[in-house]
Amino acid sequence: MKLKTIYLVLCVLGVALPYWQFLPWVAANGLNMPLFFQQLFANRVGAFFGMDVLVSAVALLVFARAEGRRLGARARWLTLVAVLTVGVSLGLPLLLYLRERRLEQDRANARAATV
């Protein structure tokens, strides 16, 4: 299976699994962000995961910006939108998909230039 396909499958899972938990919470509580953060940081285990995800999101956005500039990617903003609307679970596989797609295009262009 191609890497692009794996990354797309991970994108689907990266949306479906977090929202499977989040949507029932929103249905019960609305978009009550103070309550969301209160419950996220209600104990040290939750705080551990919350901080881990926050640091991972920042690192992903820094990497996405740098990698986008390096490869000349035009859709860098998609990673930002993915992280802000879903999280790292979508942002990372989406960035990897976009990166793999760009690398495939570059390889194809290099082969065409040598023929």
106 has pLDDT over 90: no
Q: How high is the pLDDT of residue 75?
A: 73
Domain enclosing residue 67, as ranges? 3-114
Cβ contact 86:57 at 8 Å: no
Q: How high is the pLDDT of residue 56?
A: 97
Task: Say how many domains are in the chain.
Answer: 1
Tell if the pTM clears 0.75, that is, is over it: yes
Percent of the chain with pLDDT strictly greater than 90: 76
Q: Which tens digit of pLDDT belongs to each residue from 3-55?
A: 999 999 999 999 999 999 999 999 999 999 999 999 999 999 999 999 999 99
Cβ contact 91:9 at 8 Å: no
85: its two tokens: 């609307």
Q: Which helix (H) or strand (E) holds 49?
A: helix 44-71
17: its two tokens: 């699994």
Give residue 71's pLDDT band: very low, low, confident or very high (50, 70, 90). Answer: confident
